Structure 1
Amino acid sequence: MTDQPQKTLLSLGHGYSARALAARLLPLGWTVIGTTRSADKLDAPGTEMHLWPGTDLAPLAARASHVLLNAGPTAEGDPFLAETGSILAQTRPQWLGYLSTTGVYGDHDGGWVDEDTPLAPSTRRGALRAEAEAAWQSLAAAHGLPLHIFRLAGIYGPGRGPFAKVRAGTARRIIKPGQVFSRIHVEDIAQVLLASMQAPSAGAIYNLCDDDPAPPQDVIEHAATLLGLPVPPAIPFEQAELTPMARSFYAESKRVRNDRIKRDLGVKLLYPTYREGLDALRHLEP
């Protein structure tokens, strides 16, 4: 009987979602290597962290059996593509994952989208993600790389929920008729990524979202109810003072289907709606 080969994840842009994945991999005996641009984010228990730019990624990629790409693109494209594209073509990881966004679908006036819906981003952020997806797909096609694309809905989880603002009295219920968002708990992101790594399907694209696209004001109301606090007053969208980033989220309204992660990866969501997710967070965030 021979030992199983060591599995190593190289997480390029080791952020919130990647750290949740690492928490699942480390107890299974994986080695996790991560990169960050911020010196104050080098502390990641169990993970070998490196500052990038400033670290040669070639030897790290040579050690990796799996590679996760999780960095926001700029007008110049994906920040890791130029440096790692040719490297990955040589090292040929068993699995290559790219974290994208459901923003690539654009606005559908509250209608449903799935992975086969044509991309029509209506924000600059969505357009850059669509371009980055296409660039990685071109590289994968040219070199036979096992690329998997994950389009993430709005991410929430520990430290990223509405409770702090509700407690502080700064939460707002902004009302825009017909507006709905899809969401995904970070632990469900982690379990989908792990399921894909265990059953790779080169070229696959997956939507990562829960079962209940909902108006944002409903989420705030539920959070307040869970805490036994007053429900924040409603504010019409036209009167709300929003940052350009926040306003861009309201530029799109759609419901995102998640049938593929259930059918192809056998995923059963831990938090199928924001209600279960917020209830769990309430117990984690006293």
Structure 2
Amino acid sequence: MSEKQVFIFGAGYSGKAFARANPDGAKIIGTTRSAEKLEALRQAGIAPLLFDGKLTSDIGEVLEKTTHLVISVAPEDAGDPVLNAAREAIAGMPDLEWIGYLSTVGVYGDYGGAWVDETAVCRPVSKRSVMRVEAEQAWQKLGREIDRPVAILRLSGIYGPGRNALVNLENGTARRLVKPDQVFNRVHCNDISGALWHLIAGNRGGIFNVTDDEPGPPQDVVAYAASLMGIEAPPEIPFETAQLSPMARSFYGENKRVANAAIKAAGYRFRFPDYRAALDHMWASGDWRDGAPRSPMKGQAIPGKV
């Protein structure tokens, strides 16, 4: 068996969290579109390469020795950029054991707040989610053709160090929009990385919702974060009167509670089963800003806040 080598197409926020975990000490190579981000990948333990939609000789050489492939690149009008550029190379990878594709729970569309699991019909609303469904199907098709397991991880709203309600409160961007009965699903980046490594360990394929146990109103998350910081939560704003970008408003056009039984049945246990557990941990450890532990500032005033 070949030594484990993971290649990440699109090593962004989730990819860097995955690489920092690395329980197997595997060699990890990942791509970015920007030369300015190469050093950030190195600091996360990723050997960086540039990928702008074309298969370079450097990437081709690395794929020859890769055992596990993770794709975290959004589809485009022309299809999946990775498959468009490297389908033939991937199909011919001699050591490939497993493929993981990071998708989104947006593929389910709107279910009026009802629970959905992996057996639910995908009825995507936005164009970006329609393209996700097509990309999922394309990767599954490739897996069948080359007889390799493909894991589709449907992710909910991603948060973690540097990207959470505590940060938003500190920088003054937190808002408490209230739309009756609206809930969102969310997952800490460490549980994305944990689920990925768990599936890699068993070379397990299938479709898995990677989302925590508790879908909830977004305004409640902000209020809880404010209570940890010892500050007053921002006032509630009715959704009807809120100033929102078209994309932000589109998220409120979908309402569902996403179940996570499949990934649990595969043996994964969430480190942060709800937003309170995650915010408690980040606040206590002080890693909520950027992952670097700091002393909590409970009770201290935040600039611009009273």
**TM above 0.5, one fold?**
yes
Conserved? CA contact 2:103–2:136, under 8 Å: yes
Report deviation, 1:131.
Answer: 1.1
Mapped to 1, the partners of 2:87 and 2:134 lie a distance apart of 15
Which amino acid in structure 1 is aligned with residue 225 of structure 2? A
Q: Which residue of 188, 193, 196 maps to 2:191?
A: 188
| Residue identity in the other structure for 1:184 | V
C-alpha distance in 2 between matches for 1:167 and 1:223 = 10
What whole-Å deviation, never above 9, does each CA across 1:42-83 have from its counterpart, x for those lacking one? 012232101112633321211101000000111111110112
| Counterpart residue number, 1:272 | 273
SS in 1 for 2:273: coil
Measure how far apart 1:201 and its partner are.
Answer: 2.5
Residue of structure 1 in register with 2:244 after alignment: 242
Please say if 1:20 is aligned against 2:17: yes
**Which amino acid is the alignment partner of residue 141 of structure 1?**
R
Stretches of 4+ aligned residues off by more than 2 angstroms:
53-57, 167-170
Measured after TM superposition, the shift of residue 170 of structure 1 is 3.0
Provide the residue aligned with 1:86 in structure 2: 88
- Maintained 8 Å contact 1:161/1:281: no
Query: Residue 246 of structure 1: CA displacement?
Result: 1.1
Distance 1:75 1:129 in 2: 11
Q: Which one of 6, 15, 40 corresponds to residue 9 of structure 1?
A: 6
Spell out, residue by residue over 1:77-102, the C-alpha distance to the aligned partner (whole angstroms, 9 max, x if none): 11101122111111151010000000
Alignment of 1:84-233 (within 5 A): 84-92=86-94, 93-202=96-205, 204-233=206-235
Report the equivalent of 2:292: none
Listed one character per residue, the Cα deviations across residues 165-222 of structure 1 (whole Å, up to 9, x for unaligned) are 21233311001111101110000111100000011223x1100000000000100111
Residue 255 of structure 2 aligns with an amino acid whose one-letter code is: S
Q: CA deviation at 1:117?
A: 0.6
Q: Is the 8 A contact 2:215 2:257 kept in 1?
A: yes
Contact 1:176 1:237 in 2 (8 A): yes
- In structure 1, C-alpha distance between the alignment counterparts of 2:230 and 2:242, rounded to whole Å: 25
Unaligned residue ranges in structure 1 (runs of 5+): none
Instruction: Give the structure-2-normalised TM-score.
Output: 0.88
Contact 2:2 2:67 in 1 (8 A): no
Deviation at 1:28, TM superposition (A): 2.8
* SS across alignment from 1:63: coil
Is the Cα contact below 8 Å between 1:98 and 1:147 reproduced in 2? Answer: yes
Structure 2: stretches of 5+ with no match in the other structure:
289-295, 297-306
- State the alpha-carbon separation in 1 of the partners of residues 257 and 128 from structure 2: 19
2-structure distance, mates of 1:234, 1:219 = 12
Distance 2:172 2:146 in 1: 53
Task: Check 1:269–1:118 CA distance in 2 against 1; reply closer, same or farther (3 A cut).
Answer: same
